[in-house]
């Protein structure tokens, strides 16, 4: 029996999804994504990052902040970064992943409340950031 047969599949509300891109030149990337229909939603060019949006699609452009691209989920937020009335807390999500045998690269202190984040890697080494802001 392989590991996939042992997993208990549980529905989790991971929140708003975005991809965080490590870019070489923020201005060049900004212009490129504007040509694809994205516009600035948040961020600070002076701090080397922009959050851009096209309808419900959100991308973050980050220059010099991390090495690889990151899949990001924000429990408690909708795609416009507005707090949801009901959401699954990051600590509950973390516990469910641990119960399913997912190795965490970093963890949230279970005794805390409010904003927190943790990181997991997918089987190919892609970084997944679960980042709760509420």
Q: How confident is the model over 82-100, as pLDDT tens digits?
A: 999 999 999 999 999 999 9
Rounded average pLDDT over 105-131: 97
Residues 38, 18, 106, 132, CA torsion sign: positive
Kindly report whether the global pTM for this prediction surpasses the value 0.85: yes
The answer to whether the CB of 73 falls within 8 A of the CB of 131 is yes
Q: Which domains does the chain have, with CATH numbers?
A: 15-132 (3.10.180.10)
Neighbours of 23 (CB within 10 A): 23
23-57 pLDDT, tens digit per residue, is: 999 999 999 999 999 999 999 999 999 999 999 99
pLDDT at position 95 is: 95
Q: Which tokens go with 45?
A: 């060019």
Residue 33 Rama label (left phi>0; alpha psi -120 to 50; beta): alpha
Q: Which residue has the higher pLDDT, 10 or 108?
A: 108
């Amino acid at each position: 029996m392989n590991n996939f047969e042992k997993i208990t599949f549980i529905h989790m509300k991971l929140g708003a999804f975005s991809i965080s891109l490590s870019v070489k030149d923020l201005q060049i990337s900004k212009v490129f994504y504007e040509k694809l229909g994205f516009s600035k939603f948040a961020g600070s060019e002076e701090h080397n990052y922009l959050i851009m949006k096209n309808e419900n699609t959100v991308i973050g452009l980050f220059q010099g902040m991390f090495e690889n691209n990151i899949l990001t989920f924000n429990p408690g937020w909708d795609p416009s970064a507005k707090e949801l009335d009901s959401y699954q807390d990051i600590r509950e999500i973390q516990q469910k992943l641990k119960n399913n045998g997912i190795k965490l690269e970093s963890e949230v202190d279970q005794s805390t409340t409010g904003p927190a984040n943790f990181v997991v890697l997918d089987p190919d080494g892609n970084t997944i950031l679960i980042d709760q802001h509420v």
